[in-house]
């Protein structure tokens, strides 16, 4: 079955995590994604990740995570001839994604206005730290800097230990996901209007979206969110020590808390409304803490889940990846014998399944410029011209 973005060409002029992840998602669903990198200064994610040897070889795990299904060309956009080649490539494209400092592409003569004059149907997506324009528009940042700026770090941790950065680069991946959504929206709109689109996407905005309920709460009450760690508003939504480890209990609504207390033989603790739950929170915590120490976290998880009460013991990533549930989700893809990588590796694919035409991994992450010659030949350049570009280090 044909995948949703079959026939769509995406020019991926991005680096690090957010931009490449957005293009990767479209590539999984059939888009022809051409990654453009400076031959003298390739995507820094190639030099980043937990395997230092791979990072030294330009195939770091940060890059491998979102490099599959793409073709790679090495092209120096700081040269006039490089920009000429790029514009020729844009004439064949549906989408451009770039995440350089606001104004950088404009300064190269590669603005939305310039490129849409070449390709009127072009969807031009710019991803930046704070967006184009405004008092912070020219500033740059990475995931952790945005977490600090958007208030996420201040609300993460405990009263004693804060602020704390998320354990994973959540803002980067959320921005990449939002960009994929924005591109899908623009492509759908173009089917109706036949017009291109300009997308201005800020990581800062995405970070505040991740804290959406806190934003609404603060603007209503004037009370900023506090770093409460694993303690939530209701006692039945907190983390508890069991006989052998920690258990996260998630009896959130009134029906679930009624079910929880009834199962535990403490029907007198059931509340009729959420105000009562707030008022009796400390006593509920004390009662639950005593009861839950009687069994292991695994036993409680099995017991509660069997009785439709959300609960889960705390797992580290290795155990989470070993969960048999994961084998049913088609979330992970294992690569073997990939050029530039010694040994196998596994990457996440897409976080949803389609009944037909879903995500597929069709090619491994390429080395820098692996497809330069092939793409340039598609654009009409002959072997002599390509050799000349290479000699001048344009490619």
Residues 6 or more apart whose CB falls under 8 angstroms from that of 273 comprise 254
Is residue 76 part of the annotated active site? The answer reads: no
Q: How far is CA 90 from the centre of its chain?
A: 26
Backbone angles phi, psi at 159, to 5 degrees: -60, -30
Closest CA to 179 of 200, 152, 208: 200
Four-point Cα dihedral 93, 95, 98, 99, nearest 10: -170
Pick the catalytic residue from 12, 43, 172, 371. Answer: 172
Other CB atoms within a 10 A radius of the CB of residue 218 amount to: 14
CA distances, 18 to each of 146, 169, 250, 336 (Å): 12, 9, 31, 25
Angle at 167 between CA 165 and CA 173, to 5 degrees: 95
CA distances, 335 to each of 126, 264, 357 (Å): 31, 47, 21
CB environment 242-280: b (16+ within 10 A), e (fewer): beeeebbbbbeebebbbbbbebbeeeebebeeeeebeee
| Residues with active-site annotation | 172
């Amino acid at each position: 079955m044909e995948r949703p973005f079959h026939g769509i060409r995406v020019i991926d002029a991005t680096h690090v995590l957010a931009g490449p992840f957005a293009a990767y998602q479209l590539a999984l669903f059939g888009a022809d994604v051409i990654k453009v990198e400076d031959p003298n200064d390739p995507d820094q994610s190639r030099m980043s990740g937990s395997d230092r040897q791979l990072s030294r070889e330009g195939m770091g795990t940060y890059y491998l995570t979102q490099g599959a299904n793409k073709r790679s060309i090495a092209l120096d956009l700081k040269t006039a001839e490089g920009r000429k080649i790029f514009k020729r490539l844009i004439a064949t494209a549906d989408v451009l994604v770039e995440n350089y400092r606001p104004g950088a592409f404009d300064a190269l003569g590669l603005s939305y206005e310039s490129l849409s004059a070449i390709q009127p149907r072009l969807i031009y997506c710019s991803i930046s730290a704070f967006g184009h324009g405004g008092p912070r528009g020219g500033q740059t940042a990475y995931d952790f800097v945005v977490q600090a700026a958007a208030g996420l770090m201040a609300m993460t941790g405990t009263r004693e230990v804060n602020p704390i950065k998320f354990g994973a680069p959540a803002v980067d991946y959320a921005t990449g996901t939002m960009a994929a959504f924005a591109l899908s929206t623009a492509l759908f709109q173009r089917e109706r209007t036949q017009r291109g689109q300009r997308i201005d996407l800020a990581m800062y905005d995405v970070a505040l979206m991740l804290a959406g309920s806190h934003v609404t709460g603060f603007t209503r009450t004037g009370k900023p969110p506090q770093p409460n760690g694993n303690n939530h508003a209701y006692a039945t939504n907190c983390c508890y020590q069991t006989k052998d480890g920690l258990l996260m209990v998630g009896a959130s609504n009134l029906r679930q808390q009624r079910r929880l207390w009834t199962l535990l033989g403490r029907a007198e603790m059931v509340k009729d409304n959420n105000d009562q739950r707030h008022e009796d929170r400390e006593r509920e915590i004390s009662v639950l803490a005593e009861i839950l120490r009687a069994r292991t976290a695994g036993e409680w998880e099995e017991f509660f889940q069997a009785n439709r009460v959300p609960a889960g013991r705390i797992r580290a990533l290795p155990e989470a990846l070993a969960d048999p549930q994961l084998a049913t989700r088609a979330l992970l893809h294992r690569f073997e014998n990939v050029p530039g990588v010694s040994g196998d590796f596994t990457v996440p694919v897409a976080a949803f399944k389609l009944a037909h035409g879903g995500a597929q991994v069709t090619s491994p992450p390429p080395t820098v410029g692996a497809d330069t010659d092939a793409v340039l030949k598609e654009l009409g350049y002959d072997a002599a011209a390509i050799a000349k570009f290479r000699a001048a280090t344009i490619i």
